[in-house]
Structure 1
Amino acid sequence: MAFTTVLQAISFALVIVFPNLALMALGFGLQRFTMLNQTFVDTASKLVFNYCLPCLLFLSVIKSQIDYSEQITLIGAGFLTTFVLFFGSVAYAKWRVPDVRDKGVFVQGVFRSNMAIISLSVVTNAYGELGTSVGAVYMGVITILYNVLAVIALSGTSMQRSAGLSQQFFGITVNIIKNPLIIALVCAFVYKGLDLPSLPKPIADTGQLLANTALPLALICTGAALNVKSMFTLSGVSMQASIGRVIIAPLVAVMTGVMMALPPLYFGVLFVMVASPAAAASYVMAKAMGGNDVLAANILAFTTVFSMISLTVGMVLLRLIGWV
């Protein structure tokens, strides 16, 4: 039975991850054959960051049936896990990541997971419609936290070290307020909170078309910026960040779930949401905010492959123990 469960989990993981890998491979191949240039990647990344991803987040929130009051414990566990990973990676980057352009990208690669694409699909497969609704609540709240922390990390590390504390705080605040992803999420929660009528069909359809291009275009750009040699350099920053995402993040999620005595459903949702690969949006945000986009692409590519292994193994072990 356990062997069959492992095979089923591995098969499902491959089905989920293959489209992402295929699109990144397409971008990488097009770049190698000079069918994509840096101008295209820069322009497409700005399009995804400013329009496509905001539409995806806005529409996903207003269409979901979100009830926050029933899931305070799970959301609290998500906040705790995220803060542990964020502040832990900030402390590590301060001492072990020398290049200022790499620091924020490293931090983002460790704490930020691909909830909207990988995690939600795995949760739905594991727990059905109930898992989907629970995962949507978690994703809606934690995505805002992710984006705020990502802006803080990328803003703080890209500024000159000579800048004063007040200047840095002002710059971070401005970047948070102006961030299109945060604006989209806040607008979506306000829209739902006011119980406004559905969007007119022409507007909803246009937004959905933009939302549908977000992930494919982001992954193609990621593949085009990929540096394979750097990705597999064991001493490189990308490998250190990938270890944090693939190994450390799932362990922190497990410790949080045990400490907070989460019931099996919430434990499983927390683990899957945290243990998934680095978020596709991390590359787009790093590029838009002047971070090391090649490093972000390498972290995304490496964790997209190896996080699925750690996620699968982790879920099998947790299920055998009886925690999920």
Structure 2
Amino acid sequence: MTAAIIFAITIVLPNLFLMGLGFFMKRRGEASQAFIDQASSFVFNYCLPALLFFSVVDSEVDYAKQVVLIAAGIIVTFILFIGSELYAKRFISAPADQGVFVQGVFRSNMAIIGLATVANAYGDIGLSIGAVYMGIVTILFNVLAVITLSRVSKSADDTWVSRSLMIVKKLLTNPLILALLAAFAYKALPLPPLTGVIHTTGDLLAAVALPLALICAGASIDLKSMLHPSGLSMQASIGRIIVAPILAITIGLAFGLTGVHMGVLFLMVASPTAAASYVMAKAMGGNDVLAANILAFTTVVGLFGMAIGAALLRGLGLM
């Protein structure tokens, strides 16, 4: 069990340290909001796509064997979505709060926290499997997020047709999804391996992605919101930090997942609420203050939950 605890600490602690560095830099005035916004945009549009593209292109993973893992992730996502929808309709009255609550429960931060933790745990193989998982489930996340946040219409022109077009536009312009599709196409075609200057440049961009993303996440933490969560944000946080990981383990066991596949499923699902949830809630007229509170609390506390779950799974030989 000692080895399992050490394993859990080693995969989570580097993330906490980098986030702590970002928080420290923000407090010292070394990371302005403009820097955070620009760096986050740089990571999202260039560094993470490079990381995902070269992770897939360089890997020898048989992606056909990831079908069971992806199916398990899709089922977990749907159960969390439907369960939180039913809970919101029963116990939450304000439409502006309902969609934000639901998104806070089902949508995890796979692209930053999830991938970084998987990379710490399993190296390049885990990163490749996690990238494929993330690519598929991210599409589902975007569709479900638009559906649940559509309770609040900001204008008379906001119809199901406009929302559907918005979903399609988001998917077709998402640099992470485009990078994964390009990588799959490159591997499927009889093209020579990428080497030399192109690969070196891609490696340098990829190396920046996760550390800079974690620093920006730490710098974005609102300590006041984290320490004084509302009743509703605490309920959503419980769903994200406790219910989601337990459900992931249950579904993973039902699908017979073990080793790296169980590890990827657990770490991706158990990650804190996605940073994109705040942006989308604000854009679609949801309660952005509630979204910020959920994001802040789960970003810090959720990492400890991931460590505890990883230690238990490792101790039982399941991860």
Q: Tell me, yes or no, whether TM beats 0.5.
A: yes
| Counterpart-to-counterpart distance in 2, 1:229 and 1:209 | 36
Q: 2:52: which partner in 1?
A: 57
The reply on whether 1:299 has 2:301 as its aligned counterpart is no
Amino acid corresponding to residue 190 of structure 1 in structure 2: A
SS in 2 for 1:312: helix
**2:49·2:179 contact (CA, 8 Å) conserved in 1?**
yes
The reply on whether 1:239 has 2:234 as its aligned counterpart is yes
**2:61·2:128 contact (CA, 8 Å) conserved in 1?**
yes
Amino acid corresponding to residue 32 of structure 1 in structure 2: R
- Report Cα offsets for 1:258-291 as digits up to 9, x if no partner: 433x164477346534454237xx3267548856
- Report Cα offsets for 1:220-264 as digits up to 9, x if no partner: 11111111232233535553343223321222123223433x164
Structure 2-normalised TM-score? 0.80
Q: How has the CA–CA distance of structure 1 residues 86 and 119 changed in structure 2, closer, same or farther, with 3 Å as cutoff? A: farther
1:25 to 20, 29, 38: 20
Q: Percent identity?
A: 35
| Counterpart-to-counterpart distance in 1, 2:136 and 2:101 | 16
SS in 2 for 1:78: helix
Amino acid corresponding to residue 278 of structure 1 in structure 2: P
2:30 to 19, 28, 35: 35
Matches within 5 A, 1:248-287: 248-260=243-255, 262=256, 264-265=258-259, 268-269=262-263, 272-274=266-268, 276-278=270-272, 282-283=274-275, 286-287=278-279
**2:130·2:264 contact (CA, 8 Å) conserved in 1?**
no
| Counterpart-to-counterpart distance in 2, 1:210 and 1:191 | 19
Gapped runs of 5+ residues in structure 2?
none
| Counterpart-to-counterpart distance in 2, 1:47 and 1:289 | 22
Deviates more, 1:247-256 or 1:232-241: 232-241
- Report Cα offsets for 1:204-226 as digits up to 9, x if no partner: 11121111111121111111111
Q: How has the CA–CA distance of structure 1 residues 266 and 85 changed in structure 2, closer, same or farther, with 3 Å as cutoff? A: farther
Q: How has the CA–CA distance of structure 1 residues 29 and 267 changed in structure 2, closer, same or farther, with 3 Å as cutoff? A: closer
Matches within 5 A, 1:74-85: 74-85=69-80
| Counterpart-to-counterpart distance in 2, 1:263 and 1:244 | 23
Deviation at 1:155, TM superposition (A): 4.2
How many residue pairs match? The answer is 304
**1:246·1:306 contact (CA, 8 Å) conserved in 2?**
yes
Q: How has the CA–CA distance of structure 1 residues 257 and 97 changed in structure 2, closer, same or farther, with 3 Å as cutoff? A: farther
| Counterpart-to-counterpart distance in 2, 1:216 and 1:186 | 24
Structure 1-normalised TM-score? 0.79
The reply on whether 1:119 has 2:114 as its aligned counterpart is no
- Report Cα offsets for 1:38-67 as digits up to 9, x if no partner: 111111111111111111111111111121
Q: 1:205: which partner in 2?
A: 200
CA RMSD in angstroms, aligned pairs only: 3.2
- Report Cα offsets for 1:97-129 as digits up to 9, x if no partner: 9574894586266442444221344356xxxxx
Q: 1:12: which partner in 2?
A: 7
Deviation at 1:32, TM superposition (A): 1.5
Amino acid corresponding to residue 310 of structure 1 in structure 2: G
